[in-house]
Chain A
């Protein structure tokens, strides 16, 4: 019996008139928790009642404290008939259950009614007395902190990152219960809201228990979603990353760590025995040896075993004993082994984090994803959600095996989603295969963390680009070259990931939002036939989405995608695919070649002319984009990029001895003299359309940038003005003559126009960047497409932004000063990461490479895929997909996609901020942002998670301004309620805000509409840090004595 919940109802204001006769209201309040209810007195004839109630006390189990919401109902007293409800407030008291968060909830809450919206406000005070029972964590998981933020929260330090936690709970959806036929819409909506609130609480408690079992104290990257499965029920599921976090309170605690010189570390690997096995604790450990040698970039094998074979994991010792690999090889092997053993204990080595402590991420393999089509069954027993669990377990297993195929033992930036239409459900999971540093993963390494270790010695920031897989046994075809940065390791030509750009990555120019959009018509069908149809379409959609992304990336002259999110949405008669990512030019990866168009009928003169016209347009676009995004890689780098192919003699030897590929001859051919461009073959009108559509994407107007990652690569001088927004559009397709092409165009226009509108609306903020642009597509009805966008516009200082071409030294300094915040949390990294000077200054690099590269026609060779390899890639892709595609009755079909990876090193001007122009902390203003930080401010406290679910319904749609008026009002109300809850917790901002669901249904004929919205985020307290700013920017070198957390330096 470990808790006492105390509630006081103070006053109301702006209440609606409930009695027409008197134009007044006789209001009273019911306070309910669990099965206990208290009432206040009736406050007669007032729209601004003062109740000043006593403290209502609920004595409850902490289990209930976690599960139940506090429910406050405001009613109008009526002597003769039933009392009328004015509205309700649900308060999640979870933030009061752990010590570091809020201690009291007190403030004005909007009184919400699912039919009328917000109707006045009520002032409430809530407190919880937890009894000091040492066992109190046994029954519940009170005390485990939850964060939506997908990185280590700003005022904490990760001691251990334990790993994946997941849970789901199911129930019947009240909307579909028999009783729903006889109750009012209001009662039905409230039953649903309450149920989801309860289920969320239960889910969170259960996840908390798992965290405690793992001996963690927090969940980071907590993502909770609900699936409205209609007749078959309601699923609430969540995933997250269990961690042990330490609050950063005294800066002194980590200062000593700064003294360890990282430069020394550099030398260590050279003293190591190059034989990886000497470091492994046991030969039985399956080791995938990293080939760090210089084998030719094109000698890949076309083994299409992406997931089911463990071939790539078999030890291959003795390989790659070239001279170049001293640094990487043994180290990697050791690392791999440690990581592996740390990870092997875990069922799913997944991490929902997208940004990491420095040194955590060693290599990135590429995107792994899995989808499965399921037919929904009624959930017969809510207490045993095994089916859904099994479905997800299956998908996760697949993701895990994909990662293995990429030579990775972990998946980062992991997320799961569903799309449901009638009884068909597509489950999707995706993430980025990666090799991690075991340091943060193991129990018992806590102390070890305080000493710099071998594995910190990563090649100056480009390490994450280096391929983790065996280049002779690659799971998919790719071009490899030597890292443009360290010149020692191989990197792919293109890298796709679902994570944020690592802080230390060296980027040239700015990034940009890249989207692939796709529609496919599908016959209406029932049950299995439907599932099969969808299953058959999926692989082609995945493939096309990938091709579009690749083409658009090339068109932008960039070579890597971050934050990739591919959403496949299922409707009655179509499938939609929408992929969003942020393109960047990673300095470590080779310069992308252009796009070359080839026609099928070469002898037709006018056709040829047309082709060459298109070609010119494409070339112009690429040139324009280079200028727009300031992509000016150092000129000499061309040579470097061209150079890494070893001498022919050597290469052929390697091929003979080690390649299992049967295409040896072809590949040798390929490596010679061919154009380096990515070839698009135009063999029919479809292809022509595709090329056209490539060119229709309009760049943002000048002064605007956009990305879907946390911050924009290449911009680092944010000012403090932010504007978070949600925009929703629905278009109706004319049902006549719907072709795939017409659909594509409609969808493409919808997205492009939406972006254009955003740029126009926010033009007063120029220069600014739209960050964390998050598109979601849904198909609410046959002919309707709905796109919802949430993002934040952040202004930046143009003058500083112009200085994009800096010397490395300057960049380094800048990084040193700007990374402050990150570094604070991981003091150890301070030394190893920000202090060492660039080990490979460009000039030196060039000299080296120039000398070692004689005999190669380097000048011409760029790096992209030429036609034949493109074809290769396609065919193997298809093969792979074919292999995977199998229909399972009442079960699944899965397609799997594993994409490239790539490179560089670090400059990462993340999180820089210029001094905020005004420190206007206007009372009552609550900022909201999808980012994990607030520009120009420092988060001093996390108050708890905000996770709110609302339903709004109307039977007077026209009167409320039609669908737009209705939804506009509702979203504004949702924002208002989020802000009110944050303010009541004592906070002034929500970070990592996300609108997870916005389900909108309309029935204009009946003048009705309904909408469900689910949002979440972290309530925080922030303070402007203008003074700290000045200090830190003036003294970048003082970086090693970080001052911020305690605020010592300000004085």
Chain B
């Protein structure tokens, strides 16, 4: 056995398969076993010792790469590892990728030391190695630190338990695309994820749709005309129109307060998804309703906030539909 066994390339050698095993938190010996099982020894006619040596060496490199990976913008500037840019992107991308199962478990919890101590439970529950859980947890904290404004979406309630990570991600993406400063101002880079405060202020103007009785009735008339005969439970919709309409209008209109932003997902579920669900409406009905509900506003005589409505409702419609499931 070798006392010392190293390989250093002028260009840092990255074996993608070993990198994945390392990210997945396997120990070197486990990684060697997994690689051996993959048939690599037969393909390359290498010996187990060679595989062992190779794996240990890659692990050492990855371990040393850890520090620059913790601050990705520094990676291109550090001098110790010479890595082509495409490889750097791969390294960072893979390092910050996460297992949905893991993130779902952490969502809604505080990224505190306490949570970190509970990672072994999450590891047991999800089958993801503790090592990998820790890395993902620390990644989340690093990302969280950078994007502190998004804290709200990370806290949650029991009511949101049924949602998957994908649901959250989908809605967050819609909001980033439509409601942030970066979305309207191309001068700002994509990472500018502050919600557009001005927009949220303006959205309050939309309250008139529920506050003004004439408008509300007119709107209700247009929607009902369009949907008559097309919905399974038309009458409930007609009777509840005011409540149903209040949801979309108010969710957006209250986002000027940080507390409300934090509760956004709860609002989305409580104010629209749950009422619809209690009526046992099929998804198709909900979609039809939302389509006509948002479209018919364009026919409202004298309503001045068409653009504002579209920006607000477009996102909300997407969110509602995504969140409307069991």
Contact = CB atoms under 8 A, between A and B. Distances in A.
Interface of A: 13-14, 108, 110, 118, 121, 701, 723-732, 753, 756-761, 763, 784, 786, 920, 922, 925-928, 961, 963-965, 967-969, 971-973, 975-976, 979-980, 1000
Contacts of B3: 730-732, 784, 963
B2 interface: yes
B64 A969 contact: yes
A352 to B, nearest CB: 25
A961 B5 CA distance: 12
- Residue among A118, A701, A965, A975 with the most chain B CB within 10 A? A975
Rank and list the top 9 A-B pairs by shortest CB-CB distance, nearest first.
A730-B4, A725-B9, A730-B3, A968-B6, A724-B10, A971-B8, A928-B10, A963-B4, A727-B7
B84 A925 contact: yes
B63 interface: yes
Given A925-B84, A972-B80, A757 B6 contact: no
A972 B82 CA distance: 9
Interface stretch (B50-58, B138-146, B260-268): B50-58
A975 B51 contact: no
Contacts of B302: none
A558 to B, nearest CB: 24
B239 interface: no
Interface string B1-21: 111111111110100000000
B37 interface: no
Contacts of B51: 760
A381 B82 CA distance: 45
B229 interface: no
B8 A13 contact: no
A931 to B, nearest CB: 13
B307 interface: no
Nearest to B79: A976
25 contacts: A110-B80, A723-B11, A725-B7, A725-B8, A725-B10, A725-B13, A726-B7, A730-B5, A753-B47, A753-B53, A757-B7, A757-B50, A760-B44, A760-B50, A760-B51, A920-B84, A926-B82, A927-B10, A964-B5, A968-B60, A968-B61, A968-B64, A971-B8, A975-B10, A1000-B4
A501 B60 CA distance: 39
A220 B63 CA distance: 41
Contacts of B49: 753
Contacts of A13: 77
Nearest to A750: B2
A746 to B, nearest CB: 11
Task: Give the interface SS of chain A, mostly helix, strand, loop or mixed.
Answer: mixed
Contacts of B63: 961
Given A730-B3, A963-B3, A968 B79 contact: no
A1029 B61 CA distance: 37
Contacts of B114: none
Interface of B: 1-11, 13, 44-47, 49-51, 53-54, 56-57, 60-61, 63-64, 74, 77-82, 84-85
Task: Give the interface SS of chain B, mostly helix, strand, loop or mixed.
Answer: mixed
Contact of B4 (A118, A725, A729): A729
Given A760-B44, A760-B46, A761-B54, A723 B9 contact: yes
Contacts of A928: 10
A756 B45 CA distance: 10
Contacts of A760: 44, 46, 50-51, 54
B74 A965 contact: no
A732 B13 CA distance: 27
A968 B82 CA distance: 14
B65 to A, nearest CB: 11
Contacts of A972: 8, 64, 80-81
A675 to B, nearest CB: 35
Contacts of A786: 4
Given A728-B4, A729-B2, A968-B6, A756 B79 contact: no
Given A727-B8, A753-B49, A757-B53, 14 more contacts: A110-B80, A118-B79, A725-B9, A727-B7, A730-B2, A757-B50, A760-B44, A761-B57, A784-B3, A928-B10, A968-B60, A972-B64, A975-B82, A980-B79
A118 B2 contact: no
A640 B53 CA distance: 50
Nearest to B58: A761
Contacts of B11: 723
Contacts of B80: 110, 118, 972-973, 976
A964 B28 CA distance: 15
A723 B61 CA distance: 16
A761 B10 contact: no
A758 B50 CA distance: 9
A763 B84 CA distance: 19
- Residue among B7, B49, B50 with the most chain A CB within 10 A? B7
Contact of B79 (A121, A761, A920, A971): A121
Contacts of A757: 5, 7, 50, 53-54
B8 A726 contact: yes
Nearest to B13: A761
Contacts of B45: 701
A724 B50 contact: no
A110 B84 CA distance: 19
Contact of B9 (A108, A724, A753): A724
Contacts of A121: 79
Contacts of A976: 79-80, 82
Given A756-B46, A763-B44, A108 B2 contact: no
A964 B79 contact: no
A922 B7 contact: no
Contact of B84 (A14, A728, A759, A922): A922
Contacts of B77: 13-14
- Residue among A110, A784, A964, A980 with the most chain B CB within 10 A? A964
A331 B60 CA distance: 62
A731 B2 contact: yes
A41 to B, nearest CB: 24
A926 B83 CA distance: 11
B110 to A, nearest CB: 24
Contacts of B84: 920, 922, 925
B308 to A, nearest CB: 44
A763 B9 CA distance: 14
A730 to B, nearest CB: 4
Contacts of A758: 7
B236 to A, nearest CB: 61
Given A14-B77, A753-B50, A961 B60 contact: yes
Contacts of A723: 9-11, 13
A548 to B, nearest CB: 24
Contacts of A961: 60, 63
A758 B57 CA distance: 12
A633 B237 CA distance: 92
Contacts of B61: 968
B320 to A, nearest CB: 46
Contacts of B5: 728-730, 757, 964
Contacts of B60: 961, 964-965, 968
B78 to A, nearest CB: 7
A831 B45 CA distance: 48
A728 B6 CA distance: 5
A924 to B, nearest CB: 8
A721 to B, nearest CB: 9
A698 B84 CA distance: 34
Given A729-B4, A784-B3, A925 B50 contact: no
A784 B1 CA distance: 12
Contacts of B64: 968-969, 972
A861 B13 CA distance: 51
Contacts of B6: 727-729, 964, 967-968, 971
A961 B61 CA distance: 11
Contact of A975 (B8, B53, B85): B8
A252 B133 CA distance: 68
A753 B82 CA distance: 27
